[in-house]
Amino acid sequence: MEKMNEVMLAITSGLVAIGIWIFKRLFKSIDIAHERIDKLEDAVDRKYLETQLAPIRADLHIITQHLLDRK
């Protein structure tokens, strides 16, 4: 019976260790992703984004007008 308890303790300890390792790796990856997103947010400002979206909005306006005229 004593040997059975030791085996169960070893298996349980191993599973807990594996679970903690996976948990730490998962949250480390999430933290790294958040850091990368924060750096990108600092690099892209509102004025730059608006200048990039202006041609797309113009095209969308032309397409919308065409569809409304054909209706």
Residue-level pLDDT at 16: 95
Q: Each residue of 29-56: pLDDT tens digit?
A: 888 999 999 888 877 887 888 888 999 9
This prediction has a pTM of 0.45
Task: Give the phi and the psi of residue 44 in degrees, each rounded to 5.
Answer: -100, 120
Domain boundaries, position 42 = 2-70
Residue whose tokens read 């790796």:
25
Strand spans (E) along the chain? none
The number of domains in the chain is 1
**For residue 62, what is the DSSP state?**
H
